[in-house]
Amino acid sequence: MKKRLENSNLFIFICATYFVLVFSADNGDPCVTPNKENGKCIPVNSCDVIRRAIAYFNPEAMEFAKKSQCGYDNNEGPLVCCGSAGRLTTPAPKTTTMKPITSADVGPAKPINHLLLPDETSCGFHPEGSRKPGIIAGMTEFPWMASLHYDNGGKGYFGCSGVLINHRYVLTAAACLSVPDTKLDFVRLGEWQFSEKTEVDDAVIDVPVAKMTSHPYYSKRSGNDNIALLRLDTKVKYSDSIRPICLPPMDFPQPPPGDVLETSGWGLTKDGCKSDVKIKAEIVISDYDECQKAFPRYRQRYPNQICAKPTKYDFCNGETGIPVVKSYTKNTTGDLDEQWFLEGLLTKEFGCTKKRK
C-alpha cells in the first residue's frame, strides 16, 4: 500500500534489509540458531525456551524469536530454530548508524551465505552489453524480473511483479498473494515485451506456482512486512534472460540518503498504466528529516520501509512487487565488475503525486 502526504513528493518502499526469508523448511529439519547453536526447526508453540521467553513480550526475546524463524507451516504457523536458549547469549553486533557511506565503506558486497541461495559467482550480473540508455530497458537487462499471472475466470492478466532469487523461488509482496476474485497461477520469467514476439522470446518461460508463503507478521493496514515467497513448481534454468538477484546479508547497511537506486518493471509509467515493454527508472533515498516531516513518527510507523522519491523521470507505479536494486563494485580476478543487490520492493502508486481517474 502506498503511503504519502498530500503536497509531498516523498514515498516509502519495502526495505530488503528487514526481509525474513522463509524457505520451505519442515518440522524437525536441522538449523542454526541466532546463538550459532545447532537446533531443530519446529513450531514456535512447541519450542518451550522461546515460548516462555516471549510470554511477557520482552523486546529482546521478541527480536530473538524473529531471528530464529526458519520456516512457516500452513497448519502450525511460524517455525523457529529451537535450541537451548530463548534469548541471545552471544555478543550482539554493534548497530549501524545512518550516515553517508559508499560501497567502499562496507568492503566488498557479498550475498547472503545460504545453501538455497546462489553464490557470488551467479547472482546479480547483467549479461554483457545488455545495459541500455534511456527509460526502455534492454531486452536482457534486469534478468531477475518476474511477472505474476492471475486467473480471473477469463483470459487472465499479468498483475504484480517479483524478483527471482534462486532456481526455485521468487520474492514478491505479500499483498500480491490475495488479489480479490483471482488466483495467482504462474510466474513468467525472461519477458521483455508482452504483445509481440522478440528475439528473447525463446527464453521466456511460464512456471506454475507450487506454494505461496506470506510473511507471518505482514500487516495490510500499515504495509509493514509486506513480503512473500513463491515456490515454483519446477527449477528454472539460468540464461542471459533469466538470472537471480543477490540478496544482501542481514547486517548490510541500508542505502544512505542521496543514494540513487534503480528499479524496473512494466508499471513505471506516467499514468500508472501497464507498459507493453520493460522500462526502468531511478529513485533517490531521502534524508531522515525530510521523511520525518512527510511521515510523522516515520521510524516507529514504518520500521521495515525506506523513504525515497523518483529522480529525473517522474512515474506513477502501477504494479506492486517491483524490485529496487543497487550495484556494488566487485573485484573479481583483478577485474572490476558491477554486481546488483536487492534493496527493496516498490508498492503500487509509488511516485503518484495526485489521484488517478
Mean pLDDT on 152-157: 87
Strand partners for 238: none
Q: Which domains does the chain have, with CATH numbers?
A: 11-16+101-107+120-346 (2.40.10.10), 34-82 (no CATH)
What confidence tens digit (pLDDT) does each residue in 82-100 have?
A: 998 888 885 544 433 334 3
CA proximity to 274, closest of 343, 345, 203, 191:
191
Instruction: Give the pLDDT confidence of 261-306 residue by residue, as tens digits.
Output: 999 989 888 777 888 999 998 989 888 788 878 777 666 666 677 8
pTM of the complete model:
0.72
Query: Dihedrals φ, ψ of 125, to 5°?
Result: -110, 135
pLDDT tens across 161-208, in order? 999 999 999 999 999 998 888 999 999 999 998 887 766 667 899 999
**Tens of pLDDT, residues 296-348:** 766 666 667 788 888 877 778 778 898 999 988 765 444 447 899 999 898 77
Q: What mean pLDDT, rounded, does the chain reach?
A: 79
